[in-house]
Amino acid sequence: MDLAAEIRSDTMKAEENLVKRLQAKDQMAANTLVEQYANRLLGVATLVLGDRHLAEDAVQDTLFQAITHIQQFRGDSSLYSWLYTILIRICRARQRKKFWKLPLFRKEESWDQLVDPNEDVIEQTVKLDRQQHVRQAVGALSPHYREVIALFYFEELSLEEIGRIIMKPVGTIKSTLHRARKKLAEILAEEGME
């Protein structure tokens, strides 16, 4: 067995163990679930919703639903994919609410949190500025484009996994991703960030 297959096998066993512990209502398993997945879910939710506070609420709701409905997990996908399916459903529900208005991404971190003392300050400033422009451009995309971009580029999920999460055929995911990239390139070109 090669190393990659061995790692996948260990990951699957760890997920199975975690699910069994959650189904047995083990509080430590719930803590483990939050520790292992909250930050990754938060990254996607922030990109999809465009607001960190809304994203935090969505992640909290996702984890709560996952823990309270763990008996419904059938194991036909990974726990990771199942969590993203719940998260995307919750994000979509929030976007459908009448009061929904996409806010611009905010720089919430302080400069001290972002500065790497080993890197040139000018390079860091340019890099942070570029990242902010890309986040704002992603935020300007329509919600279904943001979902696909976030899952493919930021979470590095396969097209098949994204299809299962969003419940669309792989061909649809491919074309959506293609259109999203094109639209993102147009937005960045308008801002002079090609």
Do 128 and 91 fall into the same domain? Answer: no
SS3 assignment, position 167: coil
Write the CATH number for 173.
1.10.10.10
Do 76 and 130 fall into the same domain? Answer: no
Q: Which of 41, 74, 103 is the last residue of a domain?
A: 103
Write the CATH number for 79.
1.10.1740.10
pLDDT computed for residue 125 by the predictor: 65
The one-character DSSP state at 25 is T
Encode 107-131: b = buried (16+ Cβ within 10 Å), e = exposed.
eeeeeeeeeeeeeeeeebeeeeeee
Do 168 and 95 fall into the same domain? Answer: no
pLDDT computed for residue 60 by the predictor: 96
Q: What is the total count of domains within the chain?
A: 2
Do 98 and 125 fall into the same domain? Answer: no
Do 89 and 120 fall into the same domain? Answer: no
Do 59 and 131 fall into the same domain? Answer: no
Do 67 and 157 fall into the same domain? Answer: no
pLDDT computed for residue 116 by the predictor: 54
Q: Which of 60, 76, 103 is the last residue of a domain?
A: 103
Which residue type sits at 186?
A: E
Do 162 and 77 fall into the same domain? Answer: no
Do 118 and 188 fall into the same domain? Answer: yes
Do 163 and 94 fall into the same domain? Answer: no
Do 122 and 86 fall into the same domain? Answer: no
pLDDT per position in the chain (194 positions), as tens?
677 777 777 778 888 898 899 999 999 999 999 999 999 999 999 888 888 888 999 999 999 999 999 999 888 778 888 999 999 999 988 887 744 444 444 444 444 444 455 666 677 666 666 777 777 888 888 888 988 998 898 888 899 999 988 889 999 999 999 999 999 888 888 876 55
Do 72 and 18 fall into the same domain? Answer: yes
pLDDT computed for residue 102 by the predictor: 46
pLDDT computed for residue 104 by the predictor: 44
pLDDT computed for residue 50 by the predictor: 82
Q: HEC string of 46-66?
A: HHHHCCHHHHHHHHHHHHHHH
pLDDT computed for residue 77 by the predictor: 79
pLDDT computed for residue 119 by the predictor: 63
- pTM for this structure? 0.69
Q: Which of 69, 103, 137 is the last residue of a domain?
A: 103
Q: Which domain holds residue 61?
A: 1-103
